[in-house]
Each structure stands twice: as C-alpha cells, then as structure tokens.
Structure 1
Amino acid sequence: MAKQATAEKRQRRERGSINPDDIIKGAFELAEEVGIDNLSMPLLGKHLGVGVTSIYWYFRKKDDLLNAMTDRALREYARFATPYVDAQDWRDTLAGHARTMRETFTGSPILCDLILIRSALSPRAAKLGVQEVESAVRSLVEAGLTPEQAFDTYSAMSLHVRGSVVLRRLREKNLAANEGPGDIDDSLSFDPDSAPLLASITAQGHHLSGSDDRNFEYGLECILEHAARMIGENSKAGRKPTKNSARER
C-alpha cells in the first residue's frame, strides 16, 4: 500500500504545470534526503514528477539551480539569524548571537553547504546583513571598545563560528562517504610514553583539531575575555568611544 501511495504521489505532472518556485522547493526537499553533493537534475525530475527538460527550461545547469537555492537560503538565514548585540549587556548578547549562529548552521546541513561552503566567496553572501553587523559593531563601541577593536572582535567571533561549523560539516561529509577518518583527530593516536599529557587529555574526550562543543565554547570565551580586558584598559586610559566615532570610521 505504501508503494502504491508513493507512486500515485509521484505521477507525472502536465507539461507547463511547474514553475521555478516549485523546482527550488523540491530541490530543498530532495537535498534533505540525498545532500547537496548528490542532488542531480534527473533525480529532481523524478522527485517532482516531471521530465528533466521541464527543469532545464528554467535552470540550464545544476549550478544555476544551486545559485537560486543559495539566494533563498541567504534570505531565510537573514530572517531568523539577525545579529543583535546590546551595549549594556554586550558579553551575554554577543555570546548568544554566536551560539545562535552555530546552532542554526549545525542544525541545517543544507544551509551550511549552501551559505558557508558553496557561497563563501559570493558577493551576495558578503552583503548579508551589513546593516545589522554595523549595528552590532556600533554597540560594541558603545560598550567601550574602539571602532577597530569592535570590528576585530565581531570578525573574530564570526570567523570562530563559521570555522567551527564548517569543520564539523566536513567531518560529517567524510564519514558519510566512508573515505577514511572524518578528520585529523580520528587518525591521531598519542603514545602515553612519548606524549603522556596529550594521551591523558584526549582520553578524557578532548579533541586537538576537531570542532566540538567544548572547543567552541573555549574559543568563544577567549574572544569575550579579550574584549572585556580591552574595555577595561580603555576605561583606565580614559578612552570613551561614542556612536559618532563608530560612524566616522
């Protein structure tokens, strides 16, 4: 009965009954099942119940379809992952923003593949949330950092999040492909005699090169602590950055 229901669901559509939005939506559905790397036009045609030529009418090659999917992913990401940093509570709000970014991408491999891996050099991705990032950096200036320090702090946080997510995603891809170890940590083995400290610590679940929650939180705390120290030093030196100094930069 299940096979019959599936067959009825996948009956061929009438010619001209599909549009670009249907195709993109179906591509996301199929990518959730097979992944971005295994997504193909013939598979998508079967998933949608149309001939592959109906897809090529709108998207001449897979790369065109992926571009459209990336644009939609960027809009979706911008909708629910807008950066927010409050000057009065900068440490907690910046940390919360970092954790939200990471949870968003780790919770959606498709978003990670399209936004962080595939569109890493995309001009559209570079412009994502520019005004929101401007506001976050300005809040860090109001909290007591210089414009340069605020920019570097936000940049370091963003880089830490993206690097952590991409390393985890690449490990998942390697393991799924059954092509050996997922990452360097899977192939490392420390001899207790020659490297007793490393052997003892990694035996407790710590990772040297992998990206787990412990490594992420430690790196995030280092960034926050460094920013707090700079704010303290600026306060002692009498440097009090303002909103205007951030705009002038």
Structure 2
Amino acid sequence: MARQATAEKRQRRERGSINPEDIIKGAFELAEEVGIDNLSMPLLGKHLGVGVTSIYWYFRKKDDLLNAMTDRALRQYVFATPYVEASDWRETLRNHARTMRKTFLGNPILCDLILIRSALSPRAAKIGVKEVEKAIAGLVEAGLSPEDAFDTYSAVSLHVRGSVVLQRLREKNEAANEGPRDLEDTMNIDPETTPLLAAVTQKGHHIGAADERNFEYGLECILDHAERLIEQNKAKTRKRSAKR
C-alpha cells in the first residue's frame, strides 16, 4: 500500500503570515513524505499550520500548485544536469544522458513532476529549450547535420526519460503491490519452449526492464548510429573536395 498521509501537526500560523514561497517549499517537504499522488491541499494546510483557505488564496486548485512545483523542479533539474562539454562529443552526450538518468532516479519527486506530469509554464519551458539548443549546437559542430543532431539528442532524451519512467512505475507498482511490476513479470519463460530466453535471463539479462544494462546498451546504439552519420558526412566532404 502507498504510504498514508502522516503530516505532523504544527503550531498554527497567524493569518496572512504565509506566502507562495512558503507554500511551495512546504509542498515539496510534504511530497517527500507522502508522494505527489497523495499530496492534498487540506493535508498541506496541516503541514504548514495554516487554514486551507490561506493556500487557496494563492493557488486556487491543486493543479495550480503542482504547476508551480513543476516549474521549480525544472529549474532544479537544469541546475543539476548542465550540459558540460567533455573531450569529445560522444563522451559529452554519454555523460549528459547518465547524469539526467541519475538525477531523476535519485529524486522521485522530480521524476513525477517533470516526466510523468510534465506541465510547464512558458517561462520554465524556455529554460529547458536553451539547454537543448546548446546540446544540438555541439553535435552540429561534431559533424552532424542540424536535422541529425536534433534527432540524435531527441533519441537520447526519450531513451533517458523512458527508462526513468518505467523504473518509477515499477517502484510504484511494488509499493502498491498491485499486479505485475513490469513486462517481464507477465512472461512465463519455460526452458523447454523458450530455451534462448531462459538461458539469457538466467545470466541476469532482463526483457523490458529499465535496468542499467538495458539503458547502457540502448544509449550506445544511439551513439553508434550518430558516429556513423558523422563519418558519412566526412566522407561526402572528402569526395566534394577531391572533385574540385
């Protein structure tokens, strides 16, 4: 079962002593205890020691509060995952993907707000776009066309987000103890009828699981494809130069 709300009672604040920053900060504190799904305005009021009407004065509904939390989470995420140039484009993109995944897996609240809920204000969304532009510019400089650079970064981003969301959903299913945790739990692998599957899974490989092995394999496949595209572009450039 998911953890039930257990906010401690606090000394009641004076009327008008709460502000939006206090509310958002308190919402994050409470979400760490009970999760985003169980966060409610009445429970937050108890956590902050104010009447729920004091919260509704600034945030008319829960979605408004979650939007504000998501905007702040995105700023925290961008700060935690800067696109730091390494010695070559492949190392840079690989490190960036690993950092993104590590940041989300290490903070379930960030994952729930940014990836699963993903409702951003125009201002917050603009922050993320600048980071993407920087990444794509680096790939173009490495030798990809703008289109291939865009598709490469998009593929890496989707791969990271997909693996994190699948892992997060597995954790939620485990906590709730409701049904299979992931695809592999629904499969009946019989050594007699599916010997290849049985042999490989016995060695620690998993089907449809967002584990480290699957993540790294998929990431290297994307990077390999990008490297082939760069080499193709270099070959075309050499041919054009030879004809002159």
Report the TM-score when normalising by structure 2.
0.89
Aligned pairs for 1:65-214 (under 5 A) are 65-85=65-85, 89-119=88-118, 126-214=125-213
Mapped contact 2:70–2:119 kept (Cα < 8 A): no
Q: Distance in 1 between matches of 2:182 and 2:100?
A: 23
For residues 54 and 122 of structure 1, do their structure 2 counterparts lie closer, same or farther at Cα, with a shift above 3 Å needed?
Answer: closer
Say yes or no: does 1:35 pair with 2:35. Answer: yes
For residues 121 and 186 of structure 1, do their structure 2 counterparts lie closer, same or farther at Cα, with a shift above 3 Å needed?
Answer: farther
Q: Tell me the secondary structure at the aligned position of residue 175 of structure 1.
A: helix
Q: Which moved more, 1:44-53 or 1:231-240?
A: 231-240
Tell me the CA shift for residue 47 of structure 1.
1.0
Q: Distance in 2 between matches of 1:163 and 1:125?
A: 21
Mapped contact 1:84–1:132 kept (Cα < 8 A): no
Aligned partner of 1:3 in structure 2 is none
Q: Distance in 2 between matches of 1:194 and 1:180?
A: 25
Give unmatched runs, 5+ long, in structure 1: 1-5, 241-249
Q: Distance in 2 between matches of 1:67 and 1:41?
A: 14
Q: Distance in 2 between matches of 1:215 and 1:26?
A: 37
Q: Tell me the secondary structure at the aligned position of residue 55 of structure 2.
A: helix
Residue type of the partner of 1:18? I
Mapped contact 1:82–1:129 kept (Cα < 8 A): no
Q: Distance in 1 between matches of 2:197 and 2:123?
A: 43
Q: Tell me the secondary structure at the aligned position of residue 237 of structure 2.
A: coil
- How many residues are treated as equivalent by the alignment? 233
Q: Tell me the secondary structure at the aligned position of residue 205 of structure 1.
A: coil
Q: Cα deviations across residues 3-52 of structure 1 (Å, max 9, x unaligned)?
A: xxx97x71111111111111110000000011000001111111111122
Residue type of the partner of 1:212? D
Identity %: 75
Aligned partner of 2:242 in structure 1 is none
Mapped contact 2:173–2:179 kept (Cα < 8 A): yes
Q: Distance in 2 between matches of 1:146 and 1:239?
A: 16
Tell me the CA shift for residue 227 of structure 1.
1.0
Tell me the CA shift for residue 191 of structure 1.
0.6
Tell me the CA shift for residue 85 of structure 1.
4.2
Mapped contact 2:159–2:218 kept (Cα < 8 A): yes
Q: Distance in 2 between matches of 1:105 and 1:137?
A: 22
Residue type of the partner of 1:144? G
Aligned partner of 1:22 in structure 2 is 22
Tell me the CA shift for residue 112 of structure 1.
0.5
Report the TM-score when normalising by structure 1.
0.87
Tell me the CA shift for residue 126 of structure 1.
4.7
Q: Which moved more, 1:189-198 or 1:136-145?
A: 136-145
Residue type of the partner of 2:192? D
Q: Which moved more, 1:209-218 or 1:135-144?
A: 135-144
Give unmatched runs, 5+ long, in structure 2: 1-6, 240-244
Tell me the CA shift for residue 128 of structure 1.
3.6
For residues 110 and 190 of structure 1, do their structure 2 counterparts lie closer, same or farther at Cα, with a shift above 3 Å needed?
Answer: same
Residue type of the partner of 1:43? L
For residues 50 and 178 of structure 1, do their structure 2 counterparts lie closer, same or farther at Cα, with a shift above 3 Å needed?
Answer: same
RMSD in angstroms over aligned alpha carbons? 2.1
